[in-house]
Chain A
Amino acid sequence: MSRQFEYAILALGETIAYERRSADDKRQALGVGAAEFLLRVHRQMPDYLRPPFHILVLLFNAWPLIRKGRFFYQLSLDDRLAELDRWRRSRLEFRRRFVEFHVSLALFGIYSNLYGQDYQHDPVVTGAPARL
């Protein structure tokens, strides 16, 4: 994975964490956690999907060069949010899908960090063997 790719995913994770809530002092850490999860997913996805996804991330990162002269990860947070929104509302399907894919996974990562305790169980007594 290239440096640019990692910077872009980190910026994406942070942006999604900020977008989720207007005020939350954990956002920075949540963003890093979300980005780490996204990187793991990219690493583990089917091997023939990795190169096209890699290119898509680089494309997403480079897109703001046209309007702003900077890569996505170099933009201010507000500009990043606006850029994410432009992709979300784009008429091009691949841009919308790109955002859907990354936002849904990042949210899953963020909520896993926030609410890991949801997975704890209360004890219950034994069940009846099923009569099928």
Chain B
Amino acid sequence: MTLLSPEHPLASEKITPDVIVIGSGPGGAVTATQCAEAGKSVLMLEEGPHLPLESAPHFSREEILQKYRNAGVNIGFGAAKIAYVEGRCVGGGSEINRGLYHHTPESVLDLWRRGYRVDALTLDELAPHFAACEAVARVEYLPGPAPQLSTRLDEGAQRLGWSSVEVPRLYAYTKDAASGAPGRKQSMSETFVPRFLKAGGMLMADTCATKLTHSDGRWTVHARVNGSARPREIELKAKTVFVAAGAVQTPWLLRRSGIKRHIGNSLRFHPMLKVVALFADELNTPGELEPVHQIKEFDPRFSMGCSMSKRPALALAMAAHPEMIDAVDRDWRRMAIYYVQSTGGTGRVRSLPGFRDPLVRVALEPSDLKELADGLARLAEVLFAAGAVAVYPSIPGYPVLKSLADIGKLPETLSPKQANATALHLFSSCPMGEDSDKCAANSFGRVHGTSNLFIADASLLCGPTVVNPQGTVMAVAHRNVMRAIEDRAI
């Protein structure tokens, strides 16, 4: 096993791997592991630090400072702004997410195949790749009953006759109940990354790729090593490069490198609105497991679920109703956070000369805002059916809803200025497919018009996944790298 770090400065410049993978999130970690296990010498670069899973509790202040890009402050600018979040550490988004896991819906794959002319992308064709990833990163249902804040949503849905499901997670629940831990999240740093290292892969954390150049049949990755020492610039060479920096950073890097065709023009996301629901009885207790139910009745228009609802998160979600902050101290056991997320909106990613961070512009059409407003009303409806006595939309200036009748008081649509939407799921900024009028890469991720340059992350997905995307990101990355290995393209 080889673990490179910026503390070994000389070693990094001397190595000449076959393959460099940029980014260690689900796309990058799966890709790098397959290449290493196929006998290639592989170097994986990661801009963020290499931290253990337990370096910070999930969704805590410490985690945000350690593992989130820009401490979670990222804004997609437009008439309606979107706050989006990305991971920035070894494992990427898989370290900070809840690991709610789905296979891609068949209808979504149909759309991608037809709309972008993607070859060999039926659910049957993806199935072995899902299975291969699940053999490394375990996916499990909760061993016992779900937490009440989750089952409440399910009960509300059942009362309304809506479809609701318990979603499995990338999680290995513990066999040893006495150990005091609920189990291990199956993030990349727990699963694929150790496997990659075991296969001889080399990992350089705290190293940001800043530009790619190509000459004499080789790629040069220009990078900045941050680490504890003073930042320094390095150049690394390889025949093949996979860019897996995530749906915002991948187009940033490619565009900076002069690779711009259909790169960064078609970012998509799942815009999300949150509410705090207050119930008559207690349902939120410390140490509760993560909520796992989702309402699928309105897919693909919008879906609903329950968020982690610890007191700091409640305070954040309640910030739109400052008069209620004291109630969080008093009534937090009777409160939980729920969300609705749709699939509307588009965005563009651009690099700004002289700055590290990309500029993201987003556009939510009136129909997208109306969809979100409808979703919000439906969310309130199911929460009242679940026994909520009040619903507080996390939108400044929005009324508190005390009964079903109050839902009629909600504006028909969201005003762009007020929207206050966030996005955790980002994709499609460099879509794959054979349609050269809109695709950045071919059906298997090779960037059109280049040799041995691949994209291997959520950027490749042709549109919103409707469901939580990490399963799709991993399966598509696995499918693509296996094809590249079979074709001896690397």
Q: How large is the interface on A (under 10, 10 to 19, 20 to 34, 35 or more residues)?
A: 35 or more
Distance in Å: Cβ of B114 to nearest Cβ of chain A: 24
Question: In the complex the two chains form, is B101's CB within 8 Å of A48's CB?
Answer: no
Q: Chain B interface: which of A1-9, A62-70, A75-83, A119-127? A: A119-127
- Asked if A118 contacts B174 (CB within 8 A), the reply is no
The answer to whether B182 touches A124 (Cβ under 8 A) is yes
The answer to whether B396 has its CB under 8 Å from any CB of chain A is yes
A118 touches B71 (CB 8 A): no
Q: A100-B396, A107-B325, A109-B61 are in contact. Are A128 and B140 (CB under 8 A)?
A: yes
In the complex, which residue of chain A has the Cβ closest to the Cβ of B328? A111
A120 touching B287 in the complex, CB below 8 Å, given contacts A47-B356, A48-B355, A112-B61: yes
Q: Would B287 and A122 count as touching, CB distance under 8 A?
A: yes
* B326 near A120: Cβ-Cβ < 8 Å: no
The verdict on A28 contacting chain B, using a C-beta distance below 8 Å, is: no
Does A40 interact with chain B (Cβ within 8 Å)?
yes
State whether A125 touches B168 (Cβ < 8 A).
Answer: no
Tell whether A121 pairs with B73 under 8 Å between CB atoms, given A108-B61, A127-B173.
Answer: no
**Interface assignment of A96: CB less than 8 Å from any CB of chain B:** yes
B414 to chain A, nearest CB (A): 16
B71 and A41: CB pair below 8 A? yes
- Which has the most chain B C-beta neighbours within 10 Å: A93, A114, A118, A124? A118
Complex alpha-carbon distance, A5 and B482, angstroms: 52
Residue contact A125 to B141, C-beta cutoff 8 Å = no
Verify if A92 is at the interface (C-beta below 8 Å from B): no
Is B218 an interface residue when CB atoms closer than 8 A count as contact? no
Residue-by-residue, is B285-309 near A (CB-CB < 8 Å gives 1, otherwise 0)? 0110100000000000000000000
| Number of B residues with CB within 8 Å of any CB on chain A | 61
Residues of chain A with a CB closer than 8 A to B326's CB: 20-21
Complex Cα distance A116/B101, Å?
28
A123 touches B58 (CB 8 A): no
- Is there contact, CB below 8 Å, between A100 and B319? yes
With A116-B60, A125-B173 known to touch, is A48 a contact of B359 (CB < 8 Å)?
yes
Question: Contact mask B56-79 → A, CB, 8 Å, 1/0?
Answer: 011011100100001111110000
B178 at interface by CB-CB < 8 Å: yes
Inter-chain CA distance A63–B249, complex, in Å, is 38
Interface membership of B139, Cβ < 8 A: yes
On chain A, the residues within 8 Å of B130 by CB distance are: 132
Q: Give the residues from 82 to 114 in chain A that come closer than 8 angstroms, CB to CB, to chain B.
A: 88, 93, 96, 100, 103-105, 107-112, 114
Within 8 A of A (CB), among B62-107: 62, 65, 70-75, 101, 103
A-B residue pairs in contact (CB < 8 Å), sample of 8:
A49-B73, A116-B60, A119-B60, A120-B57, A123-B178, A124-B143, A129-B139, A132-B168
- Apart from A47-B357, A49-B357: 8 A-B pairs, beta carbons within 8 A: A88-B322, A108-B316, A112-B312, A117-B286, A123-B177, A125-B143, A127-B141, A132-B101
Taking beta carbons and an 8 Å cutoff, which residues of A are in contact with B? 20-21, 37, 40-41, 44-49, 88, 93, 96, 100, 103-105, 107-112, 114-130, 132
